[in-house]
Amino acid sequence: MSQYLITGGAPINGKIKASGNKNAALPCIAAAILSDAPVILRNIPEIEDVQVMLDVYRSFGGSVEQLEPNAYRLCLGNIKEPRVPADAAKKIRASILFAGPLLARTGKAILPPPGGDVIGRRRLDTHFLALTDLGAAVSTKDAFVFSAKKLKGADIFLDEASVTATENAVMAAVLAEGITIINNAAGEPHVQDLCRMLVSMGAVIEGIGSNILTITGVKKLGPCDYSIGADYMEVGSFIGLAAATRGELEITGPKPSDLRPAKIAFSKLGIVWEHEGNVLHVPKKQALKVNHDLGGMIPKIDDAPWPGFPPDLTSIIIVVATQVEGTVLVHEKMFESRMFFVDKLIGMGARIVLCDPHRAVISGPAKLAGSELTSPDVRAGMAMVIAALTAEGKSIIRNVYQIERGYENLVERLSALGAKIERGD
Catalytic residues: 117
CB 12 within 8 A of CB 419: yes
User: C-alpha angle with apex 36: 35 to 39, nearest 5 degrees?
Assistant: 65
Nearest-10 crossing angle of helices 48-59, 22-31:
0
Measured between its terminal Cα atoms, the distance across the chain in Å is: 6
CA distances from 149 to 77, 127, 166, 267 (A): 20, 18, 22, 52
Phi and psi for 150 in degrees, rounded to 5? Answer: -155, 130
Going by DSSP bridges, is the β-strand pair 279-282/274-276 parallel, antiparallel, or unpaired? antiparallel
CB 14 within 8 A of CB 398: no
3-state secondary structure of 272: coil
Kindly give the residue spans of alpha helices, DSSP state H, lying in 268-321.
Answer: 314-321
| Cα distance between residue 247 and residue 354, in whole Å | 28
| Cα distance between residue 143 and residue 137, in whole Å | 13
CB 232 within 8 A of CB 306: no
For 246, left (φ over 0), alpha (ψ -120 to 50), or beta? left
User: Which of 253, 260, 258 is closest to 276 using CA atoms?
Assistant: 253
Q: Which are the contacts of 203, defined by CB distance < 8 A and separation ≥ 6? A: 174, 195, 215, 218, 221
User: Which of 147, 112, 116 is closest to 23 using CA atoms?
Assistant: 116
Alpha-carbon torsion, ordered 220, 223, 227, 229, to 10 deg? 10
Which residues does residue 83 pair with via DSSP β-bridges, in sequence order?
110
Helix (H) or strand (E) holding 402: helix 401-404
User: Which of 199, 190, 224, 231 is closest to 73 using CA atoms?
Assistant: 224
Single-letter amino acid, residue 190: H
HSE value, Cβ hemisphere, 13 Å, CA-based, for 340: 12
Phi and psi for 189 in degrees, rounded to 5? Answer: -55, -35
